[in-house]
Structure 1
Amino acid sequence: MTPSSEPRSVTPAEQATLAELGARHALWPEDAAVVTLARGGENTTFAVADCVVRINEDRDAVDREVALLRALAEATTLATPVPLVHDAALGLIAYRTLPGEPLLRRPQRRSTGLVEALTQVLAALRELPVAQQLPRDDNPNDAWHADAVENFRAAQSRFEPRQAAAVASFLSDPPPSDRGLVVPQHNDLGAEHLLADPEGALTGIIDWTDAACADPARDLGLLYRDLGSDVAFAIAAGLGGPLTDDERARIRFHARCKWLEDFRYAVDEPETRAAYLANCLWTFDHTFRDHA
């Protein structure tokens, strides 16, 4: 891990690895610039020419993701990253950049075919044999609620009084009960991972690193937060039939927990995370509508 003061720098060892990778597979010119897109505890992502390269210390997670992406490419019409190179020893995966801009940066997020495209991808994912082998993410709702309370406390000074009252009202309610139902899903299906063309049509879904078997309200909650309740509920109905009041409540619960998580993340570094902060401000009213 590089020092926190220089999270975007590229180490000489990383530069050498990427140069050798590009030459061996003829992926980019020898003088192609390397840009660090993200650097986390185990995961580092680079952009080189028209490729994305990610190196993960968790080799098993990379193996699972590669198998999932290859299966998705065969099962869906909407673009997902297709591995060009998979180096199991390095925990490395490389793929071409998908066309489109993240919806996170677009104020207009509705387009013809959006619900149908997302429903098709999530339905196909649930049927893939390889997806049944994804890790189980069954963090209980009590833990989600506790995290939401902590995120609210940490960022409370940044809320307007009306917003703080709405969040406090939500947190005063008990979380939904846990259930045994889990399904394969993206597990981080926010607007930052949905790509669209200039007209707003969905062009692809990226970053499948966190894919897992989890409560279906997880992905649907993020879609509720970033695209609205009508989109999320329409997709949910397309996947599982008519919605119950209980299912709607679960989707709203996860939407609000994830909103609070993103808001705290954004206000910690508002200058570098301005797009996340803008998204939180844009989505607050519909996410917390019945508590506002």
Structure 2
Amino acid sequence: MRALLARHLPDYRVRTVNRLGHGLDNFVYEVNDELLVRRSRVADPQANRQEVARLAAVRELSPLPVPEVVFADDETGTIAYRKLPGTPLNHHLHDNHQPGDPDHPHHHGVGGTLDPAPLAEQLGTFLSAIHGAIPGTMRDLAPLDVYPAPTLLQDAALDYQDVAPHVPEQHRSLVEHFLSEAPPDEPPSLRFCHNDLGAEHILVDPQTGTITGIIDWTDAAITDPAHDFALIYRDLGPDLFTRTLTHYEFPVTKQDRARILFYARCALIEDLAYGLSTGPRHYADAALAHLPWTFTD
């Protein structure tokens, strides 16, 4: 990592390099508490170039800050960004209780001193701007993601077989009922989406409660906009989801809501399986904490 930094930033003094964590596809390092460097497990030069161009376009679209690229190394699948202020929103959620804890009812999501009203307004305005991009203009910057709902449901059922013993017994019927239902219809249209808008990718100022940045655009795609709302529902709860819709400029139909719930539930099962196998445990802990509101209509 130091050699890579020296090659691209020869006059930059590197004092500290800390590995922050990893996901399914990337490792992330923090340099001098100023830069974040994301390195792919498997380098894809074309995908790297596409992401740099995509971030430049997103910076023009988004009313919220997004990462600014400092340098990119396509051969190693590396992109360095200036670190945005704030802390991930998942640090401010009620994730430290067990599902069904009477002290934290399932309709709660955002905790501490954070006010859900400004968060919802910022998210609704942000999603309006991103989803409002003309899909054709973004086609060269983001792949098409049209994973069929029946296949998603099959994947969720397979994941559930592995994690069912970890789901509290009083909630298993909720998940199993969902897995037995028919998947929703496919979306009538596709839009440019962040496509991984979990709470860990939303930065907030803990003092003011405002959003300071939206990070990790690796999975951005032309896809069903319900995917973006699904992770808001899963991670932040139905109350903040409903508030966000009041600031969203496009209509959300009954069919859209059905797909949002469907994607939220599939994503929760996927995170639970990931956190209990190869991923960080906090993914599983959050999934279990959010299971009641995600699987309760």
The normalised TM-score by structure 1 is 0.84
| In structure 2, C-alpha distance between the alignment counterparts of 1:53 and 1:61, rounded to whole Å | 16
| In structure 2, C-alpha distance between the alignment counterparts of 1:283 and 1:136, rounded to whole Å | 29
Report the CA distance between 1:21 and its aligned residue. Answer: 2.9
- Structure-2 change in CA distance of 1:39 and 1:191 (3 Å): closer
| In structure 2, C-alpha distance between the alignment counterparts of 1:53 and 1:234, rounded to whole Å | 34
Q: Which residue number corresponds to residue 100 of structure 1?
A: 86
Is residue 2:233 matched to residue 1:224? yes
Is residue 2:60 matched to residue 1:74? yes
- Cα shift readout 1:158-192 (whole Å, capped 9, x = no counterpart): 11111111100111111102234111000000111
AA aligned to 1:261 is E
Moved over 6 A (4+): none
Give the match's secondary structure for 2:28.
strand
- Structure-2 change in CA distance of 1:63 and 1:236 (3 Å): farther
Which of 253, 257, 274 is equivalent to 1:244? 253
Report the CA distance between 1:240 and its aligned residue. Answer: 5.1
- Which stretch of structure 1 is more off in the superposition, 102-111 or 233-242? 233-242
Which of 161, 164, 169 is equivalent to 2:172? 164
- Structure-2 change in CA distance of 1:242 and 1:234 (3 Å): farther
- Structure-2 change in CA distance of 1:282 and 1:16 (3 Å): same
- Structure-2 change in CA distance of 1:39 and 1:267 (3 Å): closer
- Cα shift readout 1:229-253 (whole Å, capped 9, x = no counterpart): 2333443464454432211111110
AA aligned to 1:44 is F
Q: Which residue number corresponds to residue 212 of structure 2?
A: 203
Higher helix share: 1
Q: Which residue number corresponds to residue 106 of structure 2?
A: none
Give the match's secondary structure for 1:280.
helix
- Structure-2 change in CA distance of 1:131 and 1:122 (3 Å): farther
Report the CA distance between 1:19 and its aligned residue. Answer: 3.4
Report the CA distance between 1:226 and its aligned residue. Answer: 0.9
Q: Which residue number corresponds to residue 261 of structure 1?
A: 270
| In structure 2, C-alpha distance between the alignment counterparts of 1:36 and 1:23, rounded to whole Å | 23
- Cα shift readout 1:90-143 (whole Å, capped 9, x = no counterpart): 433211111111111212164332122112222222344653431100000001
Give the match's secondary structure for 2:267.
helix
Give the match's secondary structure for 1:243.
coil
Give the match's secondary structure for 1:35.
strand
AA aligned to 1:154 is D
| In structure 2, C-alpha distance between the alignment counterparts of 1:110 and 1:205, rounded to whole Å | 18
Is residue 2:6 matched to residue 1:19? yes
Is residue 2:292 matched to residue 1:285? yes
- Structure-2 change in CA distance of 1:237 and 1:63 (3 Å): farther
Which of 71, 74, 77 is equivalent to 1:91? 77
Q: Is the 8 A contact 1:104 1:276 kept in 2?
A: no
Q: Is the 8 A contact 1:111 1:201 kept in 2?
A: no
Give the match's secondary structure for 2:116.
coil
| In structure 2, C-alpha distance between the alignment counterparts of 1:38 and 1:243, rounded to whole Å | 34
Report the CA distance between 1:31 and its aligned residue. Answer: 3.7
What is the aligned length? Answer: 271
- Gaps spanning 5+ residues in structure 2: where? 94-110
AA aligned to 1:100 is G
Q: Which has the higher contact order (CA 8 A, sep 6+)?
A: 2
- Structure-2 change in CA distance of 1:127 and 1:243 (3 Å): closer
Is residue 2:186 matched to residue 1:178? yes
Give the match's secondary structure for 2:263.
helix
- Structure-2 change in CA distance of 1:90 and 1:264 (3 Å): closer
- Superposed CA RMSD in Å reads 2.3
